[in-house]
Amino acid sequence: MPKYAILSNPGHNRVYFEASKELSLSELSLALDKLGCDYTEPKGEELGGIFYVCFSTVSALSDEMLAALARLSFVYAVFELVGEGDRLLLSPVPLPEVLYMDGGLSSILKYSGKTNELFTRLMINAALLSSDFSTKEIRLLDPIAGKGTTLFEALSLGFDAYGAELSEKSVTDGFNYLKKFLETEKFKHTTSTEKINLQEKGLSAKRYCADIARSKAEQKAGDTRHFELVAGNSMYADRYFKKNSFHLIVGDLPYGVQHGNVGAAKSGGSLTRSPKELISSCGGAWYKVLKPGGALALSWNSFVYPREQFAAQLASLGFEVMSGGLYERFEHRVDQAIRRDLIIAKKPK
């Protein structure tokens, strides 16, 4: 039975690196399950004083499995373990290049309230691996997009990325940053903006779009990726976007007053530390725009809203909430006031 050891990406944040040791076991198991791989349960092990995620498979990892590993949030390098005890050797296993665009798109921009980009990649993977879809032609929505970390991670993975965000300043900051990045990295792109009238409500929103290609030849061949971020309240997501159009919905819910929820339309709503209000105003619209077989992944502060209540609220909207086993092993400490958890739910077919 071949045995493998994965060296984790150290990232920029020591607290997250410690938390990610547990999270990576669930993310890896989801990937191996989706591919129908026969494997032993992954475990964290110290080899020469360094932490590795170790697991065995019945047969050697196929190219498809290596590509899946290369997309995982924590994977930095993969080794096959050869020999035992003092004679244990780590033999490097080359990983294929799987990213559509790299160059730090999601990591360069820093700001308060930003979601850790490695955790964001984990959320996207957890949603995709729980959905009925594979990596081909994925359309992802972050309905509470901030300055766009999820959208940038989605673009890096080669997906079309859509978002909604209440703060117009966050939207323009994120969009201007993307334009600058595309210019610096010499991607072919066109951009546009458009006002959206939500007529009978007397409200409006604004759409910021970019169509991106890696080269002139790809642009000519129509091999492009679409980016779209709406400055507006997510409770109208089904007005901004077509129904049943997203394979994945992924978002990091506001944690507290500093990046508060705004559920109500005109008044700006009340700032609350619970995601309950946000889901009750926006969850129905999110359900409508998700494809049957698609998956929703939301992170939230479990100190302020217990998992059981969150799961019941999503179920009442029609979602099928994933529960038990590795789906309940994502909770981790962010700081004194925030214990972050991740809930995954599917829209039934």
Ligand X SMILES: C[S@@+](CC[C@H](N)C(=O)[O-])C[C@H]1O[C@@H](n2cnc3c(N)ncnc32)[C@H](O)[C@@H]1O
The answer to whether residues 178 and 227 touch, using CB atoms and an 8 Å cutoff, is: yes
- Give the residues across from 7 on adjacent strands: 52, 77
Stretch that binds ligand X, among 85-93, 109-117, 198-206, 324-332 (CB under 6 A): 109-117
Sign of CA dihedral 70, 75, 76, 77: negative
Q: How far is CA 51 from the centre of its chain?
A: 24
Tell me how far, at minimum, the Cβ of 144 lies from ligand X, in Å. Answer: 3
Out of 31, 75, 128, 144, the only residue in the binding site for ligand X (CB under 6 A) is 144
Q: Of 224 and 234, which CB lies nearer to ligand X in the complex structure? A: 234
Q: Between residues 1 and 337, which has the closer beta carbon with respect to ligand X? A: 337
156: contact with ligand X by CB under 6 A: no
Q: How far is CA 233 from the centre of its chain?
A: 20
Neighbours of 193 (CB within 10 A): 11
Choose one: 145-153, 192-200, 207-215, 306-314; the region binding ligand X (CB under 6 A). Answer: 145-153
Q: Determine the Cα–Cα distance for residues 255 and 285; give it in Å rounded to an integer.
A: 21
Binding region for ligand X (CB under 6 A) out of 11-19, 140-148, 314-322, 323-331: 140-148
Residue nearest to ligand X as judged by C-beta position = 146
Number of residues that bind ligand X (CB under 6 A): 24
Tokens linked to 159: 């997906």
Distance between the two ends of the chain, CA-based, in angstroms? Answer: 38
Query: In this complex, which beta carbon is closest to ligand X, that of residue 235 or of residue 343?
Result: 235
122 touches ligand X (CB under 6 A): no
Smallest distance, Å, CB 347 to ligand X?
20
Which residue(s) pair with 338 in the sheet?
335
Closer residue to ligand X in complex, CB, 34/179: 179
Contact set for ligand X, span 229-288 (CB under 6 A): 233-235, 252, 254, 259, 261-263, 278, 282
Helices (H), the chain: 14-34, 63-71, 117-130, 149-156, 168-184, 216-220, 237-240, 276-289, 307-316
Binding-site string for ligand X from residue 197 to residue 236, where x marks contact by CB under 6 A and - marks none = ------------------------------------xxx-
The answer to whether 75 and 94 have CB atoms below 8 angstroms apart is: no
Q: Smaller CB distance to ligand X: residue 65 or 282?
A: 282
Report angle CA 344, 141, 178 to the nearest 5 degrees.
130
Query: Which of 44-52, 147-155, 211-219, 309-317 is the region at the interface with ligand X (rule: CB under 6 A)?
Result: 147-155
CA distance 96 to 223: 21
Where along the sequence are the contacts to ligand X (CB under 6 A)? 113-115, 144, 146-147, 149-150, 164-167, 170, 233-235, 252, 254, 259, 261-263, 278, 282
